[in-house]
A and B are shown apart, each in its own frame.
Chain A
Amino acid sequence: MGKDKEKRIVSKSIKSYVKNIGVALVCFLIVVVLNFVLPRLLPGNPIAYLTGMAEEDMTSAQYEYYYHALHLNENWFIQFIYYLKSLLDGSLGYSFKKEMVVSAMILERLGYTLQITLPAVVLSTGIGLFWGLHCGYKKDSRIDRISTTALIIFNTVPVFLIGLVLMILFCFKNRWFPYTGLNSTGVQAGTFAYFLDRLHHLVLPVVTLTVTTVPSRYLLMRNTARKIADEKYILYAKTRGLSDYKIKFGYVLKNIAQPFITMVGMSVSICVGGSLVIENIFSINGMGKLLTEAVYSLDYPLMQGILFVTTLIMVISIVITDVICMLIDPKVRMGEKDEK
C-alpha cells in the first residue's frame, strides 16, 4: 500500500516537470505561429511587412520578384512549410533591408548581449540567494527590515534611471568608466590589453542590470526562506544547538533550492529583456540595439528573427532548469532507486 502511494507521488512530481517543459514548448510554438501569421493578417500588403519597404516605392518588376521570393503565390499552408524550413535550416529568413541572412546578423550580436546578461544573471541571482537567505532566516531582525524596505523602494526605480544615474556619476562627473561601446578605438584585438579594456567597458552595464534585477530576486528568496524558517525542523535544529551557518546552508538552502533554480531560469529571459534598455543607454551593439535598429528601419524579418531567438533562449533555459530540478528532487531520485 505504502509503496503504491509513494509511486503515485513520484509520478506526480515528474508529471509537473514534464508539464512545465510542455508549456514552454507550447509557448515557443505560439511565438513561431505569431511570427508567421502577423504580417499576413494585419491590414496592408504582407509584402510591405515582409520586406520592410513601402509598396509605392517598388517597381512592378521588384514587386513581382518579392512576390515570388516570399512564396506569396502559394497558399498559406505551403507558405508555413517554407517558413518552418527557414527556421530549421537556421537562416531565420532574409532581411531585404540589409541584404543579409537574419541569423548571421543575430549571431554576430548575440555574443555581446550574453557578455552582459550572463554575468548579471550570475551576480543578481547569487546576491539575491545569499542575501535573501540570510534575511529570511533572521526574519524581522533589524538587517532584514532595513534591507527589505530599501530593496522594495529600489524595486520601483526604472531601469533607465539607474543606468543614467550611474552614467552621470561614473562617466561624466568622474571619468572612471567609458560611457559607450564595448571597446575603445585603437586597442589591438586579441591582446590582453584588449581583454582588460573590454572588462572595463562591461562594468557599468553589468552593474546596472544586476542592480535592477537584484530586488525582485532578493524578495522572492527572502519570502521563501521566511516560510521555511517557521518549520518545525528548523526549530528542532536550533534546539539541537546547530550553528546558524549549518542551519542556513544545510537545511534552509536545500529546501529553497528548487524555487531558486526555477528563478535562475526565469531571470535569463528577464535579463535579456532588461539588457535591451541597457544596450540602448550604453550604446552597445548587442541584440537589443539590433532590435531597435530593426524597429526604426522597419526591418520586420529581423525583428521576428530576434523574437524567435529570445524565445528560444528562454525555452532552453526553462527546460534546463526543469531538468536540473527533476534531477535534484529527492522524490524523483529516490523513486528511481526504488524501481531498480
Chain B
Amino acid sequence: MKNRRVIPLIVGCVLLLIFLLAALFPGMFTEYGQKEMFAPWIKPSAGHLLGTNALGHDIFTELVYGTRETLFIGTVSSVLTLILGTAIGTLAAGRGVIAGLFNGLINVFVMLPKLITLIVLASFLGNSVWNLIGLISAFSWVGIARNVRAKVISLNEETFIENCVIQGYSRGHIVFYHIIPNLYDVLISRFLLGVNSCIMMESTLSFLGFGDLYYPTWGTMINFAYKRGAFLRQAYGYLLTPGVCIMLLSLAFYFISLYIESRKETISEM
C-alpha cells in the first residue's frame, strides 16, 4: 500500500521540479532568447526541437518561457481562491443572517455557468494578466468554501472549541487561533487541486483568445498555433505539446495531493 503511493509522489515531484526549474531558469533549457527570430515554419530538427512558428520564434523556447506565465497565473489565482474560499466558508458556517447570506452566495455560485460568465466579464474588463487572475479566482472559490464550511461546522462541535467558549474567548479569537489552524489538511489538498483547476481555466480562456498576448501562456500558444494554420503546415507538435504540458503539470499536482490524502488517512487510522 505504502509503495503504491510513494511512486506517484516521486513522479509528481520530479515533474513539478522540472516545470519549476523551467519557470525560474528558462535559460537552462534553451539556448535561444524568447524573441529570437529564425525562418518561419522550420520543421522539427536537432537545432529546433519543435521547429519554429509563423513569426520565426523557436517553439520549444516559447514553451519553456510559457511555463513561468502558466505557473504564475495558476498559483497566484489559486492562492487568492484559497483566501476567498476560507473566508467565505468560515463566514457561512455560523448561524444567523450573515451566515445565511454567505451560504446563499455559495449556492448561487455553484450553479452559475462559469465559463460563459467568465468570458463575458473578461471581455468587459479587458484582458490583462491581473484581470484574468482576479476573474478566475472570483469564480473558483466555491469548492473550497463548501469544504471549509463543512469542516468548520464539524470543528464547532469539538470539545476543545467548547472549552474555548467556556474560557470566555471571543469568537474572533477562536476562529483565528483555533479553527483556521485546524483547517490546514483541507486547505493543502484543496490548494493543489485548485492550482489544477485554475490552470485548466486559464488555458481554456487563453485558448479562446483571452490571454495576455505579450506574455503567452500555453493556452495562448495553442490559440496562435490554431489560428496561424499549424494544421496546414502539419506542425502537430506545435499544437499538441502545450496541451501535453498542461496535462503533465496537472498530473504532477494531482499525484502530490494523492499522497497527502493517503497520509491523512493513515494518520486518522492511527
Q: Which residues of A pack against B, CB within 8 Å?
A: 23-24, 26-27, 30-31, 38-39, 42, 49, 152-153, 156-161, 164-165, 167-168, 172, 179, 269, 272-274, 276-277, 280-281, 291-292, 295-296, 298, 300, 303-304, 306-307, 310-311, 314-315, 318
Contact = CB atoms under 8 A, between A and B. Distances in A.
Nearest to A306: B116
B123 interface: yes
Interface string B216-260: 000000100010000100101001100110110011001000000
Given A280-B207, A300-B123, A311-B113, 17 more contacts: A23-B107, A23-B111, A24-B111, A152-B254, A153-B251, A158-B203, A158-B207, A164-B222, A168-B231, A168-B236, A168-B240, A172-B234, A269-B111, A273-B114, A273-B115, A276-B119, A307-B117
A161 B113 contact: no
Contact of B240 (A164, A296, A298, A311): A164
A278 to B, nearest CB: 11
Contacts of B111: 23-24, 27, 269, 314-315, 318
B200 interface: yes
Nearest to A168: B236
A25 to B, nearest CB: 10
A26 B240 contact: no
Contacts of B156: none
Contacts of A30: 108, 112
Contacts of B30: none
B124 interface: yes
A273 B246 contact: no
A49 B112 contact: no
A286 B148 CA distance: 39
B247 A156 contact: yes
Contact of B254 (A156, A164, A165): A156
A165 B240 contact: yes
Nearest to B244: A161
Contact of A39 (B124, B203, B244): B124
Chain B: interface secondary structure?
helix
B234 A273 contact: no
Interface centre among A152, A157, A179 (most CB of B within 10 A): A157
Interface in B192-213: 196, 200, 203-204, 207-210
B46 interface: no
A280 B115 CA distance: 14
Interface of B: 104, 107-108, 111-117, 119-121, 123-125, 196, 200, 203-204, 207-210, 222, 226, 231, 234, 236, 239-240, 243-244, 246-247, 250-251, 254
A277 B123 contact: no
Contact of B231 (A24, A159, A172): A172
Contact of A160 (B196, B210, B243): B243
Contacts of A303: 119-120, 123
Given A164-B239, A273-B115, A314-B111, A295 B123 contact: yes
Contact of A292 (B209, B222, B244): B209
Nearest to A152: B254
B67 to A, nearest CB: 16
Contacts, number: 112
A273 B250 contact: no
Contacts of A168: 231, 236, 239-240
Nearest to B239: A164
Chain A: interface secondary structure?
helix
Contacts of A281: 226
B120 A158 contact: no
Contact of A158 (B112, B113, B243): B243
Contact of A310 (B116, B123, B200): B116
A282 B180 CA distance: 47
Given A172-B231, A295-B119, A156 B236 contact: no
B208 A307 contact: no
Interface centre among B111, B196, B236, B244 (most CB of A within 10 A): B111
A94 to B, nearest CB: 18
A296 B209 contact: yes
A307 B247 CA distance: 29
7 contacts: A153-B251, A156-B196, A164-B240, A168-B240, A276-B116, A295-B123, A318-B111
A277 B208 contact: yes
A165 B244 CA distance: 11
Contacts of B251: 153, 156
A277 B115 CA distance: 10
B123 A298 contact: yes
Contacts of A314: 111, 113
Contacts of B124: 38-39, 42, 49, 300
Contact of B117 (A31, A49, A277): A31
A167 B225 CA distance: 14
Contacts of A292: 208-209
A276 B254 CA distance: 26
Interface centre among A23, A39, A158, A159 (most CB of B within 10 A): A158
Given A172-B231, A280-B208, A161 B108 contact: no
Contacts of B123: 295, 298, 300, 303
A158 B247 contact: yes
B125 to A, nearest CB: 8
Nearest to A26: B108
